[in-house]
């Protein structure tokens, strides 16, 4: 919304619920069932007949399929809906990447009645069990043996049920890939991929859960490895059929070999994009909107300073009472802001059952190492106070 205002672009917000906005915005807003992309796209098309749209941008996983379908029907630049569907189903993604020989984990599609031991033998150990549709590391669990795999499958099915999905839906069982993990922000223009930023993830993501915390750019990997990351990302995007707009990819690097974990037809999630600034102060969102509207794009070079973001992890489940020490964290050298995005009194659920973070810490500095130090120090300043759920309180009271 801020990027649209800076560009002087009128916006219609289409979402499941009407967010807080001005009276003028409320008049243009559309409330849709994004869980039914075809129906939601039809509503956008109907509105577009009254007030023509110049572009439709899906800003999160829930909206990208609706955006592709509506753009196709209105003749606007878009990714093919079938390509976007590949990114929204982890099994479809794996199958499309396999056909194109894109390096990735070995995988097995696990139906509710399938033999887990046989699936583990096929994929290998350690392995990772994940649902096909959830995001944000929700329901992603590592298992080191067949017994752990069976326990993980049971837990993932419970997480699916809690999310309102089918508990007996197929799951993905993948081989665990060792190595360091990176995130790629890029823009597709007529099928050509342009890398905007590559983030290191300094925290080891080895399981049993995969809660992301630190993103730091530019990457400290060797130039040859970064070039491989760019090539593999471009090949993966083509294999999925994507052609236009932002992508966010997660990859693993081990002994110089690059493999694809995930690729989404959207930009980086949450508030993380605030860590990215491009020349002349241009934001990632401005780049996305300018591309969608067919406006000129200047050189897409990131600012020279290093930058990073910490997604503040939820240490335990319960009710958030308060987060103290925010001013001390903001006073840390290099830190630009600390933002807590969950209100006091609200429930908090850690990964793998939840998919949210407490908030974000943003930092800039002369080097990636300096940025990482600033983020870690700021996090140490925070005192996160959470009231345990009643069942935990009762259990604790019963212990002598």
pLDDT at 253 over 80: yes
Contact 196, 186 (CB under 8 A): yes
> What pLDDT band is residue 167 in, cutting at 50, 70 and 90?
very high
pLDDT at 181 over 80: yes
Q: What is the pLDDT of residue 355?
A: 87
pLDDT at 395 over 70: no
> What pLDDT band is residue 258 in, cutting at 50, 70 and 90?
very high
Residues facing residue 185 across a β-bridge: 197, 248
Q: What is the pLDDT of residue 135?
A: 83
Q: What is the pLDDT of residue 190?
A: 93
Residue carrying the six token digits 């899906």: 58
Low-confidence winner among 213-227, 288-302, 359-373 (lowest mean pLDDT): 288-302
pLDDT at 324 over 60: yes
What is the separation of C-alpha 130 from the centre of its chain, rounded to a whole number of angstroms?
15
Residue carrying the six token digits 């997604």: 311
Residue 127, CB half-sphere, CA atoms under 13 Å: how many? 30
In the sheet that 359-365 helps form, which strands lie side by side, from edge to edge? 257-264, 245-254, 180-189, 192-200, 214-217, 306-312, 359-365, 335-340
Q: What is the pLDDT of residue 280?
A: 79
CA distances from 342 to 19, 38, 104, 346 (A): 16, 32, 35, 7
Evaluate the omega torsion of the peptide bond into residue 218 and state whether it is cis, within 30 degrees of 0.
yes
Mean pLDDT of 357-368: 97
Q: How many angstroms separate the CA atoms of 6 and 17, rounded?
A: 25
pLDDT, tens digit (0-9, with 9 covering 90-100), for 91-115: 999 999 999 999 999 999 999 888 9
Q: What is the pLDDT of residue 399?
A: 46
Q: What is the pLDDT of residue 25?
A: 63
Q: What is the pLDDT of residue 113?
A: 86
Q: What is the pLDDT of residue 400?
A: 42
Mean pLDDT of 272-282: 89
Note the pTM of the prediction, 2 decimals. 0.92
Residues facing residue 335 across a β-bridge: 363
> What pLDDT band is residue 393 in, cutting at 50, 70 and 90?
low
Residue ranges and CATH numbers for the domains of the chain are: 2-78 (no CATH), 106-175 (3.30.1490.20), 178-304 (3.30.470.20), 306-400 (3.90.1170.50)
Q: What is the pLDDT of residue 341?
A: 95
pLDDT at 21 over 80: no
Cβ neighbours of residue 14 under 8 Å, at least 6 residues apart?
29, 30, 31, 32, 34, 40, 43, 44, 63, 66
Mean pLDDT of 322-346: 97
Mean pLDDT of 312-341: 97
Token reading at 143: 């298992």
Average pLDDT, the chain: 93
Q: How many angstroms separate the CA atoms of 97 and 242, rounded?
A: 12
Total residue length of the chain: 400
């Amino acid at each position: 919304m801020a990027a649209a205002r800076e560009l002087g672009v009128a916006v219609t917000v289409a979402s499941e619920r009407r967010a807080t906005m001005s009276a003028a915005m409320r008049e243009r807003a559309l409330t849709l069932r994004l869980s039914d992309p075809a129906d939601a796209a039809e509503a956008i098309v109907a509105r577009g007949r009254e007030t023509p749209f110049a572009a439709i941008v899906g800003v999160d996983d829930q909206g990208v399929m609706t955006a592709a379908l509506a753009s196709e029907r209105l003749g606007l630049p878009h990714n093919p809906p079938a390509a976007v569907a590949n990114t929204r189903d982890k099994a479809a993604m794996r199958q499309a990447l396999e056909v194109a020989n894109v390096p990735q984990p070995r995988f097995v599609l696990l139906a509710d009645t399938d033999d887990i031991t046989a699936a583990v033998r096929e994929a290998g150990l350690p392995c990772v069990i994940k649902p096909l549709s959830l995001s944000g590391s929700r329901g992603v669990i590592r298992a080191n043996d067949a017994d752990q795999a069976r326990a993980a499958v049971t837990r993932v099915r419970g997480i699916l049920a809690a999310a309102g999905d089918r508990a007996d839906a197929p799951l993905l069982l993948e081989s665990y890939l060792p190595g360091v993990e990176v995130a790629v922000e890029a823009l597709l223009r007529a099928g050509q991929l342009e890398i905007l930023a590559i983030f290191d993830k300094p925290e080891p993501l080895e399981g049993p859960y995969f809660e992301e915390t630190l993103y730091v750019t530019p990457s400290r990997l060797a130039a040859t490895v970064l070039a491989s990351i760019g090539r593999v990302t471009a090949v993966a995007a083509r294999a999925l059929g994507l052609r236009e707009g932002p992508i966010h990819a997660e990859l693993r690097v081990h002994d110089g070999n690059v493999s694809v974990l995930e690729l989404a037809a959207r930009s980086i999630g949450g508030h993380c994009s605030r860590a990215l600034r491009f020349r002349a102060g241009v934001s990632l969102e401005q780049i996305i909107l300018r591309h969608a509207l067919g406006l000129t794009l200047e050189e897409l070079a990131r600012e020279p300073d290093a930058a990073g973001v910490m997604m503040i992890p939820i240490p335990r489940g319960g009710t958030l009472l308060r987060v103290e020490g925010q001013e001390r964290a903001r006073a840390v050298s290099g830190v630009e802001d600390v933002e807590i995005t969950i209100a006091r009194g609200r429930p908090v659920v850690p990964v793998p059952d939840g998919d949210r973070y407490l908030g974000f810490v943003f930092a800039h500095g002369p080097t990636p190492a300096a940025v990482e130090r600033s983020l870690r120090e700021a996090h140490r300043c925070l005192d996160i106070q959470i009231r345990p759920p009643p069942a935990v309180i009762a259990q604790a009271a019963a212990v002598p």
